Amino acid sequence: MNEMLRNKKIAIVYDWFDTWGGVERVLLTLHEIFPHAIFYTSYCDKKKAAWAKNLTIHTSFIQRLPPFVKKNRILSFPFFPFAFESFDFSSFDLVISISSLFAKSAITKPGTLHICYLLTPPRYLWFAQKLYFATFFKKIFSRLFLARYKKYDSIAANRPDFYISISKTVARRAKTFYQRDSEVIYPPFDTDYWNSIIPRPPSHPPDKFRLNRNKPFFLIVSRLEPYKRVDFAISVFNKLKKNVIIVGKGSEEKKLKKQAHEYIRFMHDISDEELAYLYAHAKAFIMPQEEDFGYVSLEAQFFGCPVIAFGKGGSLETISEGKTGVFFDEQTPLSLSKTLEKFHTISYTIHQSTREHGKKWVQNYGKDRFIQQFLGYVNEKTIV
């Protein structure tokens, strides 16, 4: 950080601290760039966000609500706008919001620079309502609240002075839904860290995996939420009777476990060393969702695991077609099944190609590049 930014008071605002994933790695990188920044969020689950123990975090009144409210996205949803508007940023020179919901609605004074690092406009407000509001209760909720909060989100979207989007896909959404232009700076992939993670050889899997070397498996690493579309991937592998390991947890976990047959195994809270083993030895990595960016696909490619992905959104920006992955055209069992058949015929070739090109391809999204671009952008806007 240069001297000009070192002397500024900086706040970093994030929607919530209650999980671990690609976005949370971004937060830790921002902490490296701005070590004296103070973090603000709606609430923090200290157990689920143990990775954030070294951050200075201020929470909103949502932190004091009963657990069954603050940990339920629907019940807590109406409180989020008030939570972020309740923070006082009058003493800060720079506010950076990282948002897929309402963190960008933070109110700043005219002399405070507000830059939003946009993860996506809220899916359930703008383009994925059917996935989130399928049950009767949720449909009633959507009719009562969504139009109002969609209008609010449009207003709040005007509060940041500038936008950075995590991908070209998200930049297009920002333009379509908010009429805001944005720079694209891809999230950081820490190649030095992942180089330090050495997968075990295939003959020595972690004890808890109990994997049979003679039975190849496909891999899904994902939050188990509606928009991730793990449900239709499971329906395909149920029919094909192929082994799949699903790593992740979320609101859909119980439902997906009921849907899955005996060939499908669920895991969560595994170490990065264990995750690296799965990437290194999986037949292919499956991404059935339309991604905003696709961080986990970079992890897979880094460890030589080819990706089979839905050919829309951020996947088109993070996967090298034919070299490190293949795409299917529609989010339907038939489309994925046909692509799996195609993959079977080129499996050996694309595995060799991914091992050869994966690490080099992932360097395009390196941590050093992110730090240089993000700092450069902030410096430019600070001077202006």
Q: How confident is the model over 260-319, as pLDDT tens digits?
A: 999 999 998 888 999 999 999 999 999 999 999 999 999 999 999 999 999 999 999 999
Residues 183 and 232 in one domain: no
Task: State the total domains in the chain.
Answer: 2
Region 41-54: mean pLDDT is: 92
Please write the tens of the pLDDT for every residue from 192-211.
999 998 777 776 777 677 66
- According to the model, what pLDDT value does residue 134 have? 59
pLDDT (average), residues 357-380: 94
Asked whether residue 163 falls in the same domain as residue 218, the answer is no
8 Å CB contact between 44 and 18:
yes
Residues 141 and 232 in one domain: no
- For residues 279 and 172, state if they share a domain: no
From CA 147, how far away is CA 211, in angstroms rounded? 48
Query: How large is the C-alpha radius of gyration of the chain?
Result: 21
- CATH of residue 45's domain is 3.40.50.2000
Least confident of 212-226, 288-302, 347-361: 212-226
Q: Are residues 214 and 312 in the same domain?
A: yes
Tell whether 158 and 244 lie within a shared domain: no
Which tens digits make up the pLDDT trace of 109-164?
A: 999 999 999 999 998 888 766 666 655 456 666 666 778 889 999 999 999 999 99
Do residues 278 and 148 both lie within one domain?
no
Give the pLDDT confidence score for residue 212 in this predicted structure. 59
**Quick one: 205 and 157 in the same domain?**
no
Mean of per-residue pLDDT scores for the chain: 90
Residues 108 and 10 in one domain: yes
Residues of the domain holding 306? 191-364
- In angstroms, rounded to a whole number, what is the distance separating the alpha carbons of residues 23 and 164? 14
Pair 350, 216 in one domain: yes
**pTM exceeding the 0.85 threshold for the entire prediction:** yes
Q: Report the pLDDT averaged over residues 363-380.
A: 94
Do 232 and 119 fall within a single domain? no
- The yes-or-no verdict on residue 176 having pLDDT over 70 is yes
Q: Say whether both 26 and 127 belong to one domain.
A: yes
